[in-house]
């Protein structure tokens, strides 16, 4: 079933996509906002629901952007009703932020023969959440911690352990970072060629997301020709997946200059397809889930 252009679901796609296009038009990658913002002095974390469960996929991008745009330091978000149930009250005049929920429901219909058949129908709806900093009266652990001077990040061991557990093959040498599908290897410049350990870990994570696209892993196929629109879609998945992974590992890199050239391609993709950013975020989340599954397999093997 094709979604009508003026349907609520189509409007949600358009609202989110238009907001991201506006950022890209200014040369800003929204998924890197938490690392570029002047007020982001604390470690970047995944946005959390009121019960501590991390948001996933598209909602990570939406809430990261909202947190930076409005200066929130607390990663916890909740609905108005959830705030009330916790004894809190959204302050008068506060405006909520959009998140989306996608799922499927099963509908029983009759075919031409009069037989009952079940059809799976996708749906998506938007709802409003508020950051904990917009709410008075919440229990103490929902209040943001006082600002503190950040200590040098010492997360390299954690990141390297994560990379090692994937089983991916990393080679070092040369001046470029890339994933070579034919050899199924990730090529990186020497470690000392990177500006800092965070940039090294972030680059490793980006190429590792590409690695998940292999036919024996997530079987992701957008195209192989460098520089075309299909390749730009794969680069967008890798950018989002690496952003999610870096946030989980506590790595805060600067954006790679060599990826700025994709901004125009990404704008073309998003203008042509209002669902493209949702698809990219979903692929990125599946890639991340695959890498986490490999962590479990390695732990069991050990």
Same domain for 83 and 119: yes
Q: How many domains does the chain have?
A: 2
The predicted structure's pLDDT at residue 155: 43
The predicted structure's pLDDT at residue 158: 85
Same domain for 2 and 144: yes
With beta carbons less than 8 A apart as the criterion, state whether 262 and 5 touch: no
Same domain for 191 and 273: yes
The predicted structure's pLDDT at residue 228: 64
Same domain for 126 and 233: no
Same domain for 301 and 183: yes
Is pTM, for the whole model, over 0.85?
Answer: no
The predicted structure's pLDDT at residue 147: 53
Q: How confident is the model at residue 41 (pLDDT cuts 50, 70, 90)?
A: very low
pLDDT at residue 1 above 90?
no
Same domain for 1 and 142: yes
What pLDDT, in 10s, does the model give residues 78-95? 999 999 999 999 999 899
The predicted structure's pLDDT at residue 15: 82
The predicted structure's pLDDT at residue 296: 76
Same domain for 73 and 162: no
Total length of the chain: 302
Q: How confident is the model at residue 32 (pLDDT cuts 50, 70, 90)?
A: low
Same domain for 276 and 228: yes
Of 115-119, 170-174, 273-277, 297-301, the one with minimum mean pLDDT is 297-301
Q: Which residues contact 293 (CB under 8 A, 6 or more apart)?
A: none
Structure tokens at 208: 């590792």
> Region 260-287: what's the mean pLDDT?
83
How far apart, in Å, are the Cα atoms of 73 and each of 43, 58, 302? 10, 20, 38
Q: Of all residues in the chain, what percent carry a pLDDT higher than 70?
A: 78
The predicted structure's pLDDT at residue 179: 92
pLDDT at residue 33 above 60?
no
Q: How confident is the model at residue 254 (pLDDT cuts 50, 70, 90)?
A: low
Q: How confident is the model at residue 255 (pLDDT cuts 50, 70, 90)?
A: low
Which residue, of 97, 125, 149, is where some domain finishes?
Answer: 149
How far apart are the C-alpha atoms of 21 and 266, rounded to whole Å?
9
Same domain for 173 and 269: yes
Same domain for 288 and 230: yes
Q: How confident is the model at residue 260 (pLDDT cuts 50, 70, 90)?
A: low
Q: Tokens 């296009």 map to which residue?
A: 21
Same domain for 300 and 215: yes
The predicted structure's pLDDT at residue 184: 94
What pLDDT, in 10s, does the model give residues 147-203? 554 443 344 688 999 999 999 999 987 777 889 888 899 988 888 777 788 888 989
- Residue spans of beta strands (DSSP E) within the chain: 77-78, 89-90, 97-110, 116-131, 135-136, 170-172, 178-180, 185-188
Same domain for 160 and 139: no
Its domain, for residue 273, covers 153-302
CA-closest candidate to residue 77, choices 31, 133, 127: 133
3-state secondary structure of 22: helix
pLDDT at residue 35 above 60?
no
Mean pLDDT score of the chain: 79
What pLDDT, in 10s, does the model give residues 45-85? 789 999 989 999 889 888 988 887 777 878 899 999 999 99
Which residue, of 149, 174, 189, is where some domain finishes?
Answer: 149
Q: Are strands 170-172 and 185-188 parallel, antiparallel or unpaired?
A: parallel
Which residue, of 121, 149, 177, is where some domain finishes?
Answer: 149
How far apart are the C-alpha atoms of 155 and 47, rounded to whole Å?
20
């Amino acid at each position: 079933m094709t979604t009508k252009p003026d349907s609520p679901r189509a409007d949600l796609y358009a609202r989110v996509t238009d907001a991201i296009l506006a950022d890209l038009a200014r040369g800003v990658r929204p998924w890197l906002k938490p690392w570029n913002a002047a007020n982001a002095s604390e470690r970047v974390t995944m946005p959390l629901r009121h019960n501590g469960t991390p948001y996933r996929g598209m909602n990570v991008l939406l809430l990261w952007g909202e947190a930076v745009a409005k200066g929130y330091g607390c990663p916890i978000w909740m609905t108005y009703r959830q705030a009330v149930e916790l004894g809190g009250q959204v302050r008068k005049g506060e405006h909520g932020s959009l998140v989306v929920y996608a799922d499927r429901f099963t509908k029983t219909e009759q075919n031409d023969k009069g037989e009952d058949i079940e059809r799976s129908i996708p749906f998506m709806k938007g709802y409003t959440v508020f950051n904990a900093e917009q709410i008075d009266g919440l229990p103490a652990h929902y209040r943001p911690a006082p600002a503190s001077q950040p200590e040098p990040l010492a997360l390299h061991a954690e990141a390297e352990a994560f990379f090692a557990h994937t089983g991916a093959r990393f080679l070092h040498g040369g001046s470029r970072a890339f994933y070579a599908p034919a050899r199924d290897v990730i090529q990186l410049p020497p470690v000392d060629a990177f500006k800092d350990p965070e940039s090294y870990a972030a680059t490793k994570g980006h190429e590792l997301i590409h690695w998940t696209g292999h036919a024996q892993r997530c079987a992701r196929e957008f195209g192989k020709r460098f520089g075309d629109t299909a390749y730009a879609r794969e680069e967008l998945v890798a950018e989002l997946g690496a952003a999610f992974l870096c946030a989980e590992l506590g790595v805060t890199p600067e954006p790679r200059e060599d990826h700025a050239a994709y901004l125009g391609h990404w704008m073309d993709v998003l203008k042509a397809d209002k669902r493209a950013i949702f698809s990219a975020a979903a692929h990125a989340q599946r890639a991340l889930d695959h890498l986490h599954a490999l962590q479990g397999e390695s732990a069991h093997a050990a």
